[in-house]
Structure 1
Amino acid sequence: MKLTTEVPVKTSPYPIDYNSSLLCLGSCFAEHISRKLEFYKFNVTSNPFGILFHPEAILNVLEKAVKDEEFTSDDVFQHNEKWQSLFSHSRLSRNSSTETLAVLNSAKRELKVASEEATHVIITLGTSFIYKHKSTNLGVANCHKLPQDHFEKELTSIEELKNILSRLISSFGMMQPDAKLIFTISPVRHIKDGIVENQRSKAHLISALHEVLEETPNQPSYFPSYELMMDELRDYRFFNRDLIHPSDLAVDLIWNRFRSNFISEDIYLDMSKVEKLQKSIAHRQTETEGEVFEKLKTYQYKIKEELKKKYPFMRFPNL
């Protein structure tokens, strides 16, 4: 008996393995996926500019990286005792303009290198609503709690989104023509925009993205994380207490579907070894000496050395 409608997921013809270089960009769900990849010790770079919800915010920083264009004093401002930038999330904010510019330019270099070396780029789109800074007309990554009258909130049209997404795909092509792009729509609902408005926002993203994918040679992949959450997992037991964000269980279930369709079966055994080692390291030990403790350390060391011999880039705590 089936108790849910299963969402079909296409298997990627270009699966990820431990030789892959991964870049994750976009909304907070991109961070969920990147944390899973990091746990399993993939070579992954995640959101150098922090969480970016709108495709234009991603495009703004990617084009800076493509042009290798430095951030300058015009790109930062002081507010609430921090120096901020409209190009980035607040986690890049610092106590001085010099520090913030240094962090921004470091993030730009990180994004440039990761884009040039990427075999796969995973892009999570969060919303079609964007805040335009009135004096610069920049679609901002974050408003940083500036007064509301500094911005104009807009629902980006499908045609505008198609243009942004096409430029995004083209920019990645300029950085690394062989990189495989994987797009997904964030399953997180932006309830602050309103229930109906959130649905319009997601509908614009879905329509624009699929039209662009159909028109793009060597069509990028699509992973239906939004559809999995809204249909296959359509039950509030799969949400956090805020009833907006996916629960840990939901993230695990969506990750399992991603792994089954986008990660090579050839490395499942090695992934299992990484998982066992990671859980063993994270487990709080009640004993710090004795035969049982020494056996555990020997077991951990053996798996670690096996993995490092096969994958020298993997890093684990000293055991």
Structure 2
Amino acid sequence: MFRTEVQVAPSGLALGLQDNVVTIGSCFADVIGTKLQQHKVDVLVNPFGTIFNPVSVSLLLKAASGQPYDFEQHLVQNNGIWYAYDLHSSFSSPSKDDLIAQIQQRLQTTSEALQQASLLIITLGTALAYKLNTTGAVVANCHKLPSKNFTRTLLSSEEIILAFEDMYSLLKMINPQLRVLLTVSPVRHIKETIEMNSVSKSVLRVMCHQLTQLHEDVLYFPAYEIMLDDLRDYRFYKHDMLHPTETAEDYIWQKFIAAYYDKEFSQFTQDWEKVQRALTHRAFHPASEAHQTFLRRALKQLQQLEQKYKISTAAEAAQFKAQLQ
């Protein structure tokens, strides 16, 4: 044994294909959310774009849960484009009214998803945040405005927990059955220096531990520990030496579904990954009888999976049928 494997205890959730999910937070929320989407789960992935700090995450979830918040008072114009301090830069427009409409539409979509979801996954990136000097409010994004407009601050675990508790009570009002899964992103934020990244991740980890002790339906998934301790080798990092490789993401994904999903879903993922491989197959001779037989067999397998797991395979079937002659 040349490694220390992180064992993730079964959670008892036993989620299935019919359980809806919402993910929010850092880029790791995109990774898990996209994996779920690829495996036919109804999931809303990072509806407000990448959000790194937990106070901003809590603010957006509170707004989506119905707490009044005047986003218009937190907009800024830069080079003719309007941005929202509380959201990712992908939410922007030359028109202020259009940006407000974008935000309201996304809040409505997120509210509906949260009411139907069985699980909310919150991935926290950093406890280092920036406060707007004119108001003292924590911002989710500085939108490349002058650094003199902001003050960098290290959020305390007490400050983060207070924001979470306010948000949590609102979530439970709109969906009493919702479970919350906290993760700390394994991506290091070295632009804040390696030393401060360690401090930041420590604050987040302590906060997650405290919240799981306070609430029975708040869980923690150790993606951070899996990456740093289990996959303790730079071959599991991309060229930037910060983000996990596809191999590392797949390994963490397998740990995730083993802990939170039922055995039927695990079997489905194996069956579905065969379909995904078939979809990426490119034949040297598309009109050959061998390839046409391959396509017909794939369509039959799709039909069987659709009946067995009660899923829609129309999009995948269309891709195969387009190649039939």
The alignment's TM-score, normalised by the length of structure 1, stands at 0.93
User: Within 2, Cα distance between the matches of 1:73 and 1:163?
Assistant: 24
1:284 partnered with 2:287: no
* Structural RMSD (CA): 1.8
The offset of 1:54, in angstroms, is 0.8
1:232 partnered with 2:227: no
Counterpart in 1 of 2:16? 17
1:241 partnered with 2:235: no
Asked whether the 8 Å contact 1:10–1:261 carries over to 2, the reply is yes
Counterpart in 2 of 1:178? 177
SS of 2:123's partner is strand
Letter in 1 for 2:34: R
Worse-superposed segment, 112-121 or 71-80:
71-80
Matches within 5 A, 1:63-78: 63-67=62-66, 69=68, 73-78=72-77
Matches within 5 A, 1:129-144: 129-144=128-143
The offset of 1:314, in angstroms, is 5.3
Deviation digits for residues 21-66 of structure 1 (CA, Å, limit 9, x no counterpart): 0111111011111111111111111111001111111111111112
User: Within 1, Cα distance between the matches of 2:106 and 2:113?
Assistant: 10
Asked whether the 8 Å contact 1:187–1:226 carries over to 2, the reply is yes
Relative distance call for 1:306 and 1:228 in structure 2 (3 A) is same
The offset of 1:288, in angstroms, is 3.3
Letter in 2 for 1:278: Q
Relative distance call for 1:248 and 1:297 in structure 2 (3 A) is same
Counterpart in 2 of 1:265? 263
User: Within 2, Cα distance between the matches of 1:314 and 1:63?
Assistant: 35
User: Within 2, Cα distance between the matches of 1:123 and 1:315?
Assistant: 31
Asked whether the 8 Å contact 2:208–2:220 carries over to 1, the reply is no
Deviation digits for residues 182-233 of structure 1 (CA, Å, limit 9, x no counterpart): 11111011101111111110111111221122122x2421110101111111
Deviation digits for residues 116-174 of structure 1 (CA, Å, limit 9, x no counterpart): 11101111111111111222332111111011111111101121122122223223212
Counterpart in 2 of 1:311? 310
User: Within 1, Cα distance between the matches of 2:250 and 2:65?
Assistant: 34
Letter in 2 for 1:249: T
Relative distance call for 1:70 and 1:302 in structure 2 (3 A) is farther
Q: How many aligned positions are there?
A: 317
Relative distance call for 1:68 and 1:165 in structure 2 (3 A) is closer
The offset of 1:313, in angstroms, is 4.7
Asked whether the 8 Å contact 2:63–2:107 carries over to 1, the reply is yes
Relative distance call for 1:197 and 1:209 in structure 2 (3 A) is same
User: Within 2, Cα distance between the matches of 1:211 and 1:56?
Assistant: 16
The offset of 1:260, in angstroms, is 1.5
Counterpart in 2 of 1:157? 156
SS of 1:292's partner is helix
User: Within 2, Cα distance between the matches of 1:145 and 1:129?
Assistant: 17
Matches within 5 A, 1:188-199: 188-199=187-198
Letter in 2 for 1:298: R
User: Within 2, Cα distance between the matches of 1:175 and 1:274?
Assistant: 33
SS of 2:93's partner is coil
SS of 1:316's partner is helix
Counterpart in 2 of 1:27? 26
Letter in 2 for 1:12: S
Asked whether the 8 Å contact 1:5–1:232 carries over to 2, the reply is yes
User: Within 1, Cα distance between the matches of 2:12 and 2:24?
Assistant: 21
Worse-superposed segment, 107-116 or 290-299:
290-299
Residue segments in structure 1 that go unaligned for 5+ positions in a row: none
SS of 1:221's partner is strand
Asked whether the 8 Å contact 2:62–2:171 carries over to 1, the reply is no
The offset of 1:17, in angstroms, is 0.8
Deviation digits for residues 48-107 of structure 1 (CA, Å, limit 9, x no counterpart): 100111111111111111226476543433213432111111122233223322221121
Residue segments in structure 2 that go unaligned for 5+ positions in a row: none
Letter in 2 for 1:46: V
